[in-house]
Amino acid sequence: MPELSVVADYGDLCGESPLWDAKHSRLYWTDCVGLKFYCCDWIPKTHRVVKEGLEIYGCALNQSGGFVITNTSGIWLWDGEGSPRLVAAQADGSKLQMNDCVADPQGRLLAGSVFYNPSEKYPLGKLICVDTDGTARIIDEGFHLSNGLGFSPDCHTLYFTDSVARTIFAYDYDVAAGVGRNRRIFKKVAATSGIPDGLTVDAEGFVWSAEWYGSCVVRYDPDGKIERRIDTPAKQTSSLAFGGPELTDMFITSAGKSDPMPEMPPGYDPDAGYFGGKLFHINLGIRGKPEFVCNIRPKS
């Protein structure tokens, strides 16, 4: 069994959204709470802080250059250096307070909104699609804490996580229309496990989910059965992505200590053990698939 190694240790408060850039053999990731954005050039294995002070919860590459990013104020275009340009702050009258995102095969962006607050009543979140002209619309709604998204290899299935509901959903995805239909439960994660967070899908159609409070990433077969579990030393394992020259390198983000959530497993001690904040790597010989690239070009 290959061993897990540490690629970078910046003490991330909440490492998230690892993204592989095949063109430049580079991995990006963010500390969405610590407001830092990083890159790692994989061939020399050197890494650096690209930007500080910019809130990024999710990111995808954009065809015209730079990124499409999501944060608590909306969806933005960012060239990777200067200030971001707002694409959308609302969809169908709903505020876009966004978390994870993914590009679809036609260059759209899909992302989930989050208003979760365990101490008070909160509006439920939405699953949003941003069309290539920058128009944002609601695909579905009724989510507590939107998280990881990913597509099956044939792009006919969209996976989408609601962490508080401990559920990974599956949709029939209409690529031409950018619409998800027939929402169903792909996996309901047991209360004794961590909660599902970031997500990716490998070339065989198996779904990988990082478990916050679970110290692991889990690989599910296309029927939702656990095929394997990879333990990590991070109590709050947050997300993962495939990369490297053969797309067999797996990168796993993690978070430092945070305020406990009601969804912690029974007996979980948030004050004991290692908390995380590092970027990990492992190569299991399992191939991922390339992520799609956005083609967001707003009308004005």
pTM score above 0.95: yes
| Contact present, 69 and 76 (Cβ < 8 Å) | yes
Q: Which of 12, 31, 104, 197 is catalytic?
A: 197
Residue whose tokens read 């490998």 = 202
CA 151 from centre of chain: 12
What number of residues does the chain have?
A: 300
Edge-first strand listing for the sheet containing 136-143? 98-103, 109-113, 125-130, 136-143
Each residue's pLDDT tens digit in the chain (300 positions)?
789 999 999 999 999 999 999 999 999 999 999 999 999 999 999 999 999 999 999 999 999 999 999 999 999 999 999 999 999 999 999 999 999 999 999 999 999 999 999 999 999 999 999 999 999 999 999 999 999 999 999 999 999 999 999 999 999 999 999 999 999 999 999 999 999 999 999 999 999 999 999 999 999 999 999 999 999 999 999 999 999 999 999 999 999 988 888 888 998 888 888 889 999 999 999 999 999 999 999 986
User: Can 140 be counted among the known catalytic residues?
Assistant: no
CATH architecture of 5-283: 6 Propeller (2.120)
